[in-house]
Structure 1
Amino acid sequence: MNSSPRVESFPPFADGNSRIVLLGSMPGVASLQAHQYYGNPRNYMWRLLYALLAPGAEPDERYEDRLAFARRHGVALWDVYASCVRKGSLDSDIKDAVPNDIPGLLRRYPNIRVIACNGGKSHSELLKRFGGLPELVERTVLRLPSSSPVPTPAYRGFDDRLRAWRDILGPYLD
């Protein structure tokens, strides 16, 4: 018997003006509890997005304002998984995952031309499950270092990630 709970992702945050979808793997525990994309205050995603799109500005305090900021800049948010069994927040603990309909999202919002995968798990799962489909082949797929604050040999902290996000994603932002 598996004692870990099945968790469900959020609906996509996208509209007809979205040009880039930032695709995570699955919201962590803090995000699920807050009912917010990247709701863990330690996660760097909102800081990274603001640093790239509004240098010098801090992320808005209110979640609704953060979403409005992303929308103004054509950035959509979603996750590669619709649901999974997972204890805690680590991608490595994801089991029995059910994917979101990423191709369907791309058909619904054809202005999305760039899929920016936030971390290796979302990138590998996206390509494994949908990589050969025309909806993906017709678009640019990027692999960003995870916005998680957990240090890695290549990305020790925020500044390392910001440099990488700027190099990889920066050319596609307005």
Structure 2
Amino acid sequence: MLRGFPPVVAADTHTLILGSFPGEASLAATQYYAHPRNQFWRLLGAVLEELSLHELPYEQRLTRVLSHGIGIWDVLDACHREGSLDSAIRNAQPNDFASLREHAPLLKKVCFNGKTAGRFAEVIGAAGYETLVLPSSSPANAMLRFEQKLSCWREILA
């Protein structure tokens, strides 16, 4: 059974971006979105007008993102999976979303990085959060160019 990472949130987090589950590169590095071709940090940097975000050391990236009231987590806490594709996820165990109100009492909006994570939008929305499903930042999502993804990702701050 593979285990995910704890949430990156603060008391003033108002928006949370949820992925599905860390890929192999992320698990090996113990960092969210560690695969060099994953566009997460570039997309988020452009949205936050922090264009060098992806070049910063990991801990500084987290600090910068949190300073904007944005948090990062995944919908799944644990699963079985060969490789990094969401389609290979088996025996998935969701994270404890009820605990979010304790860790991030100002949370209003939950964004989902891709359709797999987006399957939880209805459940999270029913808990009273605004939801937004974004195109995946994964290199496996090659249907959209960076600029096309970015136009959707800008809705994070809307």
Q: TM-score when scaled to structure 2?
A: 0.92
- Equivalent position to 1:149, from 139, 143, 156: 139
Percentage of pairs with the same residue: 39
Against the structure 1 CA distance between its residues 57 and 141, is the aligned structure 2 distance closer, same or farther, given a 3 Å change threshold? same
How far 1:107 sits from its partner (Å)?
4.0
- Equivalent position to 1:163, from 126, 147, 151: 151
Against the structure 1 CA distance between its residues 101 and 41, is the aligned structure 2 distance closer, same or farther, given a 3 Å change threshold? same
How far 1:126 sits from its partner (Å)?
4.6
Alignment of 1:44-83 (within 5 A): 44-54=39-49, 56-83=51-78
2:61 is paired with a residue whose SS is helix
Segments of 5+ residues of structure 2 without an aligned counterpart are none
Amino acid in the other structure paired with 1:67: L
Q: How many residues align?
A: 158
How far 1:108 sits from its partner (Å)?
3.3
**Which stretch has the larger CA shift, 21-30 or 51-60?**
51-60
In the aligned structure 1, how far is the partner of 2:7 from the partner of 2:83?
22
Amino acid in the other structure paired with 2:151: R
Amino acid in the other structure paired with 1:150: A
Alignment of 1:1-20 (within 5 A): 6-20=1-15
Against the structure 1 CA distance between its residues 132 and 36, is the aligned structure 2 distance closer, same or farther, given a 3 Å change threshold? closer
Is the contact between residue 149 and residue 158 of structure 1 (CA under 8 Å) also seen in structure 2?
A: no
Q: Deviations over 1:62-87 (max 9, x none)?
A: 00110011111111111000000000
Is the contact between residue 80 and residue 126 of structure 1 (CA under 8 Å) also seen in structure 2?
A: no
In the aligned structure 2, how far is the partner of 1:121 from the partner of 1:151?
12
Is the contact between residue 84 and residue 96 of structure 1 (CA under 8 Å) also seen in structure 2?
A: yes
In the aligned structure 1, how far is the partner of 2:59 from the partner of 2:23?
19
* Structure showing greater Rg: 1
1:89 is paired with a residue whose SS is coil
In the aligned structure 2, how far is the partner of 1:151 from the partner of 1:132?
25
Q: Deviations over 1:36-93 (max 9, x none)?
A: 0111111101001110111544523300110011111111111000000000000101
Q: 1:41 is matched with which residue?
A: 36
In the aligned structure 2, how far is the partner of 1:118 from the partner of 1:56?
19
Amino acid in the other structure paired with 1:37: Y
Against the structure 1 CA distance between its residues 19 and 131, is the aligned structure 2 distance closer, same or farther, given a 3 Å change threshold? closer
- Equivalent position to 2:21, from 19, 26, 43: 26
Segments of 5+ residues of structure 1 without an aligned counterpart are 1-5
